[in-house]
Structure 1
């Protein structure tokens, strides 16, 4: 019943934004995705300062065939579902978790790991670190995933690392992946390719020769448009966007003065609006673009001083970044849920401006000090309903 397409769409329209978390350790490849359901009652002022991770999902491996071969060797060629496999395990600290085991894949993290590019409508785009292929789209709730066809570029003409973004074009009801490559010589134009999920081809899109960058961060899909924070050696940091409607790559209006200060900046989507969040000298600032594409509509929504909290143990603040997880409006006090981190320490802040109250939380449920975290709306929508035609095979991590 819950896999019926009409139900899954209705479910997604009402599904709340959650925080998806994956342990990230240099010597392991973590497939486990924890989810933190971000409901107001979990963050009431005066409650304890820990929040617990509960539901768990699994990400696909880079190469399922190679994984099965390793599994068969270790399990003496026994046939077991992928979800039940324990390739390598080790005992946790017995004083803490007696009888429990840590599970991870024994392989080369730099080769076998997938990084999360971004989330869109309940799907995740995955790519290897330091590379752009293979690319995978998955639904971590259903366990479904697809491998995108290889890009068509001649690798000798471009730098080793390209940039990726995943988004949705509502007018055509299509999901698309963008790859942007910077050629080895700065004076040559960028190379942009686009793939529509379900097709085997990558189309090359012409790019304005005057657009350049050193690197791109924070791919975010809002209003049928992909956005990145653009860093350049020769110009001020700005926003670059690609419209699925016009298929143009161009600069996008930025909040006033944000990219001129020495802050750590993240971009994202909040309640359907494009958002910019930065942390500078202990102060978190959040901007929302109230009217899409209108520069003057950038509005400073929050300016939060978090210097009073001792959770950071005197770490150097300029190393920290911050992003909003959820904005509570309906049925709850006007409040914002933020994550502040420096890649080894992660804390959640629940702030109610009307009461001028702020509460800091630590995350429980994973034994790793280093994690990856993204805002995500869990979805039951099947990739089979998204990928049209028979060109792309929809796989499942739970299949044999």
Structure 2
């Protein structure tokens, strides 16, 4: 079963991208520099607006959304680009600076001691109340960066010591995600192979364990190849987004990929596992103005995967298991 949020909504903008999901709430961000961000409940058809904080700065479209259990507050992490020129060599260096918005306060705050290399927040890499990503910079140390929405501190986590070095020309060669309550890393090799690693003991390098190898990864007539883990199905198969255009699952018996019954959108999308929230936004964000979309979904079953095409959001109801077989 599925239902879709049609383009005819009261959102001020029609083109947006997904940031990530947290506790059944979805964060969306506009594509343009001066566009605001939105936190919505796709089940109850509600949203609030997060004002932009650029003030002429060059925006880095890499927002993050998370929750602090200790303070019971939701926060948005937003970096911006700053160019610095050295007086001697007159060389220009790109640096990232970070701001945090605590929903309900109306204030953006700058935070320090942050990694300055360019990165991409991978969709669904929110784990242990922290956002996780791998650096895009070829010259940077090979590690996983994280930002805690609880402490508002950055830290680094180790990659597997023997995951097999891959050329770092493209960030899609390393993909992070969360499966079955564990941080997961997908490594794409040059020989049509995908290795999937799981960190069993969070933060401990020795706890990385290779759980899956897919040898015949690439489909025919596809020039770019990357796969992101989405969720564990009830039969133990892993549902994945392939190339941002197909939803596939791994066949562990033949170590290959098979197409799912989810209809391809025909254009790029983001996908993530999703647990519904039935608490009205007015109770979650008492200080914020809550608005509703025009479209009201007919079904209110808990969706377990969320799927995006351009400005349309599609929600599928699937069976899955939260356990990960290792």
The TM-score with structure 1 as length reference comes to 0.62
What residue number does 1:290 align with?
A: 200
Whether the aligned pair in 2 keeps the contact of 1:132 and 1:164 (CA below 8 Å) is no
Q: Does residue 120 of the first structure (1) align with residue 32 of the second (2)?
A: no
What residue number does 1:361 align with?
A: 259
CA offset at residue 162 of structure 1?
A: 4.4
CA offset at residue 322 of structure 1?
A: 0.8
Q: Which runs of 5+ in 2 are unaligned?
A: 85-91, 297-326
Whether the aligned pair in 2 keeps the contact of 1:278 and 1:321 (CA below 8 Å) is no
The 2-side partners of 1:138 and 1:249 are apart by 26
Q: Does residue 58 of the first structure (1) align with residue 10 of the second (2)?
A: no
The 2-side partners of 1:176 and 1:139 are apart by 16
Cα deviation 1:340-374 (Å, max 9, x = unaligned): 5234x42412434xx557561254546x4114131
Q: Residue 357 and residue 241 in structure 1: after superposition, are their counterparts in 2 closer, same or farther (change >3 A)?
A: closer
CA offset at residue 201 of structure 1?
A: 0.9
The 2-side partners of 1:132 and 1:268 are apart by 29
Cα deviation 1:106-165 (Å, max 9, x = unaligned): xxxxx74011111222211111225373100111111111101332x432xx43434211
CA offset at residue 183 of structure 1?
A: 0.7
What residue number does 2:183 align with?
A: 274
Q: Does residue 315 of the first structure (1) align with residue 222 of the second (2)?
A: yes
The 2-side partners of 1:62 and 1:127 are apart by 15
Whether the aligned pair in 1 keeps the contact of 2:131 and 2:146 (CA below 8 Å) is yes
What residue number does 2:81 align with?
A: 182
Aligned match for 1:154, one of 55, 79, 90: 55
SS at match of 2:105: coil
CA offset at residue 255 of structure 1?
A: 2.4
Q: Residue 112 and residue 327 in structure 1: after superposition, are their counterparts in 2 closer, same or farther (change >3 A)?
A: closer
Q: Which runs of 5+ in 1 are unaligned?
A: 1-53, 66-110
The 1-side partners of 2:176 and 2:186 are apart by 6
Q: Residue 136 and residue 336 in structure 1: after superposition, are their counterparts in 2 closer, same or farther (change >3 A)?
A: same
Task: Please list, as runs of the form range in 1=range in 2, the aligned pairs for 1:207-218 lying within 5 A after superposition.
Answer: 207-208=113-114, 211-218=115-122
Whether the aligned pair in 1 keeps the contact of 2:8 and 2:294 (CA below 8 Å) is no
Q: Does residue 170 of the first structure (1) align with residue 76 of the second (2)?
A: no
SS at match of 2:282: helix
